[in-house]
Amino acid sequence: MRPELQQKPLFFFFFFIFLNFILWSWLTLDGVVSDPQTNLVRLWCDQNGDNDGSIMKEILNETFGDLRAQIKDQNKQFAIAQAVRANMPVFGLFQCRNYLSIADCLACFDVAAVNIRNCSKQAYGSRLVYDGCFLRYESSQQYDLATETAWGNIRCGNQTIIDSSTLASTVQQALTNLNTATPKMAGNFYAATKTPVPNSNNGLNIYAIAQCVGTLSQSGCQTCINSASARFQTCLTNSNSESYDTGCFMRYSTSSFFADNQTTDIKPFLKQQGSSSNNNKGVIIGIVIGCVVFVLFLLIALFIWIRPRKSQKRVPRGDMTGISKLKAPVNYNYRDLKSATKNFSSENKLGEGGFGSVYKGTLKNGKVVAVKKLTIRQSKRMEEEFESEVRLISNVHHRNLVRLLGCCSKGKTRILVYEYMEKTSLDRFLFGKKKGSLNWKQRYDIILGTARGLTYLHEEFHVRIIHRDIKTNNILLDDDLQPKIADFGLARLLPEEKSHLSTRFAGTLGYTAPEYAMHGQLSEKADVYSYGVVVLEIISGRRNNQLSIGGAAEGEFLLQKAWKLYQRGTHLSLVDDTLDPNEYDEEEVKKIIEIGLLCTQASAEIRPTMSQVVGLLQQGGLAEDIRPTMPLFIEID
Ligand SMILES: *[C@@H]1O[C@H](CO)[C@@H](O)[C@H](O)[C@H]1NC(C)=O
Ligand SMILES: *[C@@H]1O[C@H](CO)[C@@H](O)[C@H](O)[C@H]1NC(C)=O
Ligand SMILES: *[C@@H]1O[C@H](CO)[C@@H](O)[C@H](O)[C@H]1NC(C)=O
């Protein structure tokens, strides 16, 4: 039984080595730069990061230097590299089309390494595709990512004038062949074909290539190639097109972009499907290779058989070793954190949050961090989930979310280390010492940024995270007064029965959505509610639970007051007196108050989602049919 199972991969393996050898001998012969093919297909900047993107650019040189060395010194056409500084990892990946010489590959890299820096300094990663090569960097390890709907795309070339139906069917044939063969080209996932267009007057050919990044699995490569080839359907009659996704690149053209002798013999890979007829040559090659493979198989089987069992474990692919480690949070040494915070001294204490005390710490390398000592009561659940939760949170990267740098466990103590925000939290700017110091533009940016951060947690991160405790003290401000939401993900560590604290809610119209406070019904709409309260606080400069003093509205909480004013059409009077009326557009402010009221509607179902809120904030006015309904006021004795 085993021979049959082993034969297939081995066959591919040796065939691939054989191909590589041929390819390699051409490549090393050709040391002169002819054409690095740096025609731009696409530059894409990941703007979902935080301001630390600029740090990444500094570290890039190191990552890129490593990539370049691998191409130059090891004649590689595919390389990955990583560098870490100040707990900020930067992962780089580079690939050039296999038909390029090493000199051209290096030239393509050099152009890409400069141009990929065109992204703004906030960019948290970037991808740059040229015809000849592909360079990308990012802050988390995503080498196994095959497709992303936000990124995969096609670029259709010029319309052809020749008979388009014959062309289309030839292109389709070439793409189908590449689709079948490329994922089977184990190790380098690359194939190039030249297919004559039947009955074309001047001997027209379709030149086509497909390539996956070397860190994908065979099925990952197949997934990517499937989606890339499906995209070609819209432009099969064009003279050239490129389709790409995170893990692969495909291109065809009626003009040659690689030499005729650089095509890949993909026939054996197509035959595996039993689709085309055998010819004699194929049979002979098949038998010869089959025999060689069989003998080698026997040797390898013998080798495996005499080896101890332990070593049969799957070993990660070449360069991948050590990378998966980085995805886990950085573990800090307890003693280091203790000395960084002067033994958790009160002078270093920044505040006391729902989950524990936060201290300002200065690490040995000079980096200032926020150190949060969790005081969540020990529970089995917490012990079990701490590590996985922290791993999850430390992989959340968004410019409007506070970054978790790492953690520390010592005995029963659990500590989280976050990036430090000099300006501290929003409540101080609204109600504290700095009251009245935020202008309208800054308030608007905070409203929008907070909505974006929540959208990411609810809808864009691969696990939905409900914050459960959105309030002004949990919204920190960076040096540019951009908001960053703190403490997300932690609520899941609370014991089940404590996860909604009705006591905190009692007697006040707080941040907590009524259905959650009263019945423990939790959905992301509970965050939407709290967000709506925060919006009203930002606009009015008033605490939600502070009774208004003086005037007709005496004895009303913020939400009640906002609703009443809205009903009378006078909600503009809610605006903070310290704001200069020349600074803001009245209609815009009214719209945002209405958005706040939409978020705090009694029925969770009809509250907008956070991505809808982002859309509403950015569009002109609210549509006629969008009218907030009444919030739920709980009677207070
Ligand atoms: C990093 O590389 C860029 C472009 O190659 C260069 O302009 C810059 O000076 C380098 N920075 C450092 C710190 O080496
Ligand atoms: C990067 O910026 C330079 C200078 O503005 C420009 O010439 C170049 O085309 C840009 N590259 C990309 C890939 O956008
Ligand atoms: C492939 O063709 C090019 C010319 O197009 C030639 O210079 C090169 O030597 C050829 N390589 C082989 C291995 O035949």
CA separation for the pair 3, 54 (Å, rounded): 54
Q: What is the pLDDT of residue 5?
A: 41
Tell me which residue has its CA closest to atom 6 in ligand 2.
115
469 is catalytic: yes
Q: 251-270: per-residue pLDDT in tens?
A: 999 999 999 999 998 888 88
Total residues belonging to the chain: 637
Q: Find out whether 529 and 513 touch, Cβ atoms under 8 Å.
A: yes
Ligand 3 pocket list (CB less than 6 A): 26, 259, 261
Q: Which of 54, 58, 61 to mutate to test the pocket of ligand 1 (most atoms within 8 A of CB)?
A: 61
| Close Cβ partners of 475 (under 8 Å, ≥ 6 residues apart) | 425, 426, 446, 450, 483, 484, 485, 486, 534
Tell me which residue has its CA closest to atom 9 in ligand 1.
61
Q: Find out whether 536 and 443 touch, Cβ atoms under 8 Å.
A: no
**How many Å from the N-terminal Cα to the C-terminal Cα in the chain?**
79
Q: 127-138: per-residue pLDDT in tens?
A: 999 999 999 998
Q: How many CB atoms lie within 10 A of CB 293?
A: 21
Q: Is the pLDDT of residue 636 over 50?
A: no
Question: CATH number for the 40-138 domain, one of 3.30.430.20, 3.30.2130.10, 2.40.128.720, 3.30.200.20?
Answer: 3.30.430.20
Q: Which of 24, 26, 194 to mutate to test the pocket of ligand 3 (most atoms within 8 A of CB)?
A: 26
Q: What is the pLDDT of residue 446?
A: 96
* Planar angle of CA 440, 442, 447, nearest 5 degrees: 95
Most confident of 42-56, 158-172, 274-288: 158-172
Domain ranges for the chain? 40-138, 153-276, 328-420, 427-637
- Average pLDDT for 589-616: 93
Q: Which atom of ligand 3 is nearest to 259's Cα?
A: 5
pTM above 0.85, yes or no: no
Tell me if the domain spanning 328-420 has CATH number 3.30.200.20: yes
Q: Which atom of ligand 2 is nearest to 43's Cα?
A: 13
Give the range among 51-55, 209-213, 291-295, 354-358 with minimum mean pLDDT: 291-295
Token pair recorded at residue 260: 């005729």
Q: What is the pLDDT of residue 304?
A: 52
DSSP-assigned letters across all residues of 429-453: HHTSTTTT---HHHHHHHHHHHHHH
Q: What is the pLDDT of residue 310?
A: 37
Q: What is the pLDDT of residue 29?
A: 40
Q: Band of the pLDDT at 25, cuts 50, 70, 90? A: very low
- The dihedral of CA 556, 562, 563, 564: what is its sign? positive
CA separation for the pair 479, 146 (Å, rounded): 36
Asked whether 114 lines ligand 2 (CB < 6 A), one says: no
Q: Which atom of ligand 3 is nearest to 261's Cα?
A: 1
CA 621, distance to chain mean position in Å, is 31
3-state helix/strand/coil string of 190-244: EEEEEEECCCCCCCCEEEEEEEECCCCCHHHHHHHHHHHHHHHHHHCCECEEEEE
Residue numbering of the annotated binding site for ATP:
373
CATH topology of domain 153-276: Killer Toxin P4; Chain A (3.30.430)
* Planar angle of CA 527, 533, 535, nearest 5 degrees: 100
Tell me which residue has its CA closest to atom 2 in ligand 2.
118
Going from the Cα of 261 to the center of ligand 3, the distance in angstroms, rounded, reads 6
Given the residues 50, 104, 469, 527, select the one marked as catalytic: 469
Tell me which residue has its CA closest to atom 14 in ligand 3.
261
Q: Band of the pLDDT at 376, cuts 50, 70, 90? A: low
* Planar angle of CA 406, 408, 414, nearest 5 degrees: 115
Q: Do domains 40-138 and 153-276 have the same CATH topology?
A: yes
Tell me if the domain spanning 427-637 has CATH number 1.10.510.10: yes
| Close Cβ partners of 53 (under 8 Å, ≥ 6 residues apart) | 120, 121, 122, 123, 124, 399
CA separation for the pair 211, 192 (Å, rounded): 9
- Please name which of 626, 516, 632 lies closest in space to residue 563, comparing C-alpha atoms: 632
Q: Is the pLDDT of residue 51 over 70?
A: no
